[in-house]
Structure formats: C-alpha cells, structure tokens
Amino acid sequence: MEIAGPGFLNLTLSRGFSAKELTRLRGDDRLGIAVVSNSKTVVVDYSAPNMAKEMHVGNLRSTVIGDALARMNRFAGHRVIARNQWATGALRSRC
C-alpha cells in the first residue's frame, strides 16, 4: 500500500493472491457473499427526470446507481422496493 496524494491509496495485490481468490470464488454462485441473517425492507427512490425538460446524463446516472443499489440489496437478501420518483409522487407524500 502506498499513499498516492491527499485522500488516495494505491493497493497492489500479487498475482498469486489474485489468482487464488478468483479460483476460490469461481465455483461459488454467491461469490463469497452470505445472505443477511435479519432481512430488512429497503426503499430505493431514484431517477427524477423532469418531464418538461430534455433527458440528460444526470438522469441516466441516477437510474444506474439506484438500480445497482437495489440489485445489491436484493442479492444480500433484503426485500427491496425500488421506485422512480416521477412515477410515485403520490406515494412519497404518504411515506
């Protein structure tokens, strides 16, 4: 490990370590990640495109990040409620 400027660290892994870990994970459908013992409900509210404006990369970024968070939580064993803001404005006021 080496410091690579303010707030940055460089980690160097040996090829042997990387190969061993990849081989270990190859046969594991869950890639070494256990299912959580106490599942929770996770609400992911993402992507708020303004229908009166053109779509832009910021809308796509929010959608991709929100979907990734929803998928990771589902994989961990949580119940996920994933909603786009523009489609659920009425639900937001009741939550």
pLDDT digits (tens, 9 = 90+) for 46-78: 777 777 777 777 777 888 888 999 999 999 999
Q: pTM for the full model? A: 0.65
Three-state secondary structure readout of the chain:
CEECCCCCEECCCCHHHHHHHHHHHHCCCCCCCCCCCCCCEEEEEECCCCCCCCCCHHHHHHHHHHHHHHHHHHHHCCEEEEEEHHHCHHHHHHC
Quote the percentage of the chain above a pLDDT of 70: 86
Least confident of 26-35, 60-69, 74-83: 60-69
